[in-house]
């Protein structure tokens, strides 16, 4: 990472490394560290966007203060590998200067039609990969290429199982197969490949967008399929040790008729953690996209996601908007409208993830 002098060895996030992420209890450095402030508990939940082509003074200050836990980089933020590398170095240096944990710096590098960095792997789209070995190789190459630029998190693989050719993710060329078991094998293969290269994989979009015929960033999507029909979409997540799982912005009548997955306790906590046993870190899909589709500000959705037990909140709007979300969440926590125990549970999971992924940089 850019925040470190040199390039010390990092533990591979393969099946063994991912298991360590899930099982780690903190270690001596965490025991000696002072308890996090409420601002840090809230700040580490936020993965925010960068508005320009260089990190603003405000964003760097937030990184130094621990008021953000990560940054999602978009294609409009850079034009070359050198420029992207300078961005990641500056961001990680700011966090390190403030004595904060390293930042998760992520991109959407799926392959096919969705690649934030067009000139990097994977070359093949998911639908053209036939074996788990090939998927793992693609993941390994992608992770190595991303890490060379200081990007440590890939918001991939997509693990959605299309219900038909009308599926929006299928039409975009983002799916592996119409079969749940094949999807599980290939998606987890790609995730393991990212881990081989020491990058963090993010399986998405739980509990599956295969029945969605519209983009959840542009429309309020309600999926009326029964639990039986949705079951194949859960197969990639059963027993997975992927470090991060991204929750869908769709509403699933079979699980929760009111709240989308990202801010549904019935889905984010009961289904994923209690029923499927997932112990890693969860993250919302873009709450700005969901808010835009609903013609509201993202603040209320972020509050609902925190209450539902979702660990990380992804904000793809401007820096002013994400600062307002931080302020709203902090005020809610101060007033007891978001419980501190839930914030601490999420913080602990995020810190365990970062401690294993960045063992030489964790404060």
What pLDDT digit, counting tens, does each position of 244-295 carry? 999 999 999 999 999 999 999 999 999 999 999 999 999 999 999 999 999 9
In a domain, 253, yes or no: yes
Task: Give CA–CA dist 323/326, Å, rounded.
Answer: 5
User: Could you tell me the sign of the dihedral formed by the alpha carbons of 280, 281, 282, 286, in that order?
Assistant: negative
In a domain, 29, yes or no: no
Residue 19 pLDDT > 90, yes or no? Answer: no
* CATH at residue 271: 3.20.20.300
3-state secondary structure at position 257: strand
The continuous run of DSSP H or E covering 142 comes out as: helix 132-147
In a domain, 301, yes or no: yes
In a domain, 254, yes or no: yes
In a domain, 27, yes or no: no
In a domain, 75, yes or no: yes
Residue 16 pLDDT > 50, yes or no? Answer: no
**Domains in the chain, number:** 1
Residue 9 pLDDT > 80, yes or no? Answer: no
Question: pTM here?
Answer: 0.91
Please tell me what DSSP assigns to residue 147. Answer: H
Range of the domain at 124: 15-22+40-357
pLDDT in tens, 85-107: 999 999 999 999 999 999 999 99
Instruction: For residue 327, count other CB atoms closer than 10 A to its CB.
Output: 13
In a domain, 30, yes or no: no
User: Could you tell me the sign of the dihedral formed by the alpha carbons of 270, 195, 356, 343, in that order?
Assistant: negative
Give the E-state strand segments of the chain in sequence order: 46-49, 70-72, 104-107, 109-111, 114-115, 153-154, 200-206, 222-223, 244-247, 251-252, 256-260, 281-284, 313-314
In a domain, 320, yes or no: yes
Nearest to 16 by CA among 192, 155, 190, 154: 192
pLDDT in tens, 115-173: 999 999 999 999 999 999 999 999 999 999 999 999 999 999 999 999 999 999 999 99
Mean pLDDT value across the chain: 92
Q: What is the pLDDT of residue 268?
A: 98
Residue 43 pLDDT > 70, yes or no? Answer: yes
């Amino acid at each position: 990472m850019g925040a470190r002098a040199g390039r010390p060895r990092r533990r591979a996030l393969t099946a063994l490394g991912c298991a360590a992420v899930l099982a780690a209890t903190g270690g001596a450095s965490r025991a000696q560290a002072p308890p996090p402030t409420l601002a840090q508990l809230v700040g580490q939940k936020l993965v925010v966007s960068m508005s320009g082509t260089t990190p603003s003074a405000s964003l760097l200050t937030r990184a130094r203060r621990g008021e953000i836990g990560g940054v999602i980089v978009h294609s409009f933020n850079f034009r070359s590998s050198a420029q992207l590398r300078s961005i990641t170095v500056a961001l990680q240096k700011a966090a390190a200067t403030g004595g904060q944990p390293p930042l998760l710096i992520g991109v959407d590098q799926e392959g096919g039609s969705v690649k934030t960095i067009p000139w990097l792997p994977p070359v093949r789209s998911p639908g053209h990969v036939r074996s788990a070995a090939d998927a793992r190789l693609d993941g390994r190459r992608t992770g190595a290429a991303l890490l060379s630029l200081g990007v440590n998190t890939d918001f991939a693989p997509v693990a959605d199982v299309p219900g038909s050719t009308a599926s929006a993710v299928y039409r975009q060329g983002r799916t592996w197969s119409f079969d749940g078991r094949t999807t599980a094998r290939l998606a987890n293969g790609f995730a393991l490949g990212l881990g081989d290269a020491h990058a963090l994989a993010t399986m998405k979009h739980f509990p599956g967008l295969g029945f969605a015929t519209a983009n959840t960033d542009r429309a309020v999507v309600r999926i009326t399929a029964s639990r039986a029909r949705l079951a194949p979409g859960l197969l990639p997540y059963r027993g997975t040790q992927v470090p991060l799982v991204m929750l869908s912005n769709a509403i699933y009548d079979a699980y929760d008729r009111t709240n989308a997955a990202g801010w549904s306790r019935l889905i984010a906590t009961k289904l994923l953690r209690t029923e499927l046993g997932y112990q890693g870190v969860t993250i919302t899909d873009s709450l700005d996209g969901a808010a835009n589709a609903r013609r509201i500000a993202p603040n209320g959705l972020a509050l609902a996601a925190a209450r539902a037990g979702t660990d990380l909140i992804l904000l793809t709007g401007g820096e002013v908007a994400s600062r307002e979300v931080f302020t709203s969440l902090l005020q809610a926590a101060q007033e007891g409208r978001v419980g501190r125990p839930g914030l601490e549970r999420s913080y602990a999971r995020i810190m365990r993830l970062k401690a294993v992924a960045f063992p030489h940089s964790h404060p």
